[in-house]
Amino acid sequence: MNTTPRQTSALAITSLVTGVLGWTFLPLLGSLLAIITGHMARAEIRRAAGQMDGDGLAIAGLVLGWATVVVTVLTILAFILFFGGLAALLALLGASGNL
């Protein structure tokens, strides 16, 4: 039996690594790279027609990348809403600029 071992996609590994970096050291750049390389890896694996592994790694990188983006957007939105609401409350109380 001549069975050759299936190769793991380098893009899938890159997606997972940059997804983890997106949560730790490189929040914006890491998550964007994880999303881009994750989609590229999944396309590469589909084109390989069963000759390549790494779909789970690519999906994990995609999930980490998109989760970082969602958490960042929600954090910015909460920050804006909190300070916008605080400014509106101070304006309602007549204390704007007179602290």
Residue that the structure tokens 């390389």 belong to = 37
Pair type for strands 52-53 and 7-8 = parallel
The domain ranges of the chain are 8-93
The helix-helix angle for 27-47 and 10-23 (nearest 10°) equals 160
pTM of the model: 0.83
Q: What is the pLDDT along the chain (99 residues), one digit of tens a residue?
A: 667 788 999 999 999 999 999 999 998 899 999 999 999 999 999 999 889 999 999 999 999 999 999 999 999 999 999 888 888 888 888 865 555
- Tally of CB atoms within 10 A around 96: 11
pLDDT at 97: 57
Q: 38: which 2 tokens?
A: 């994750």
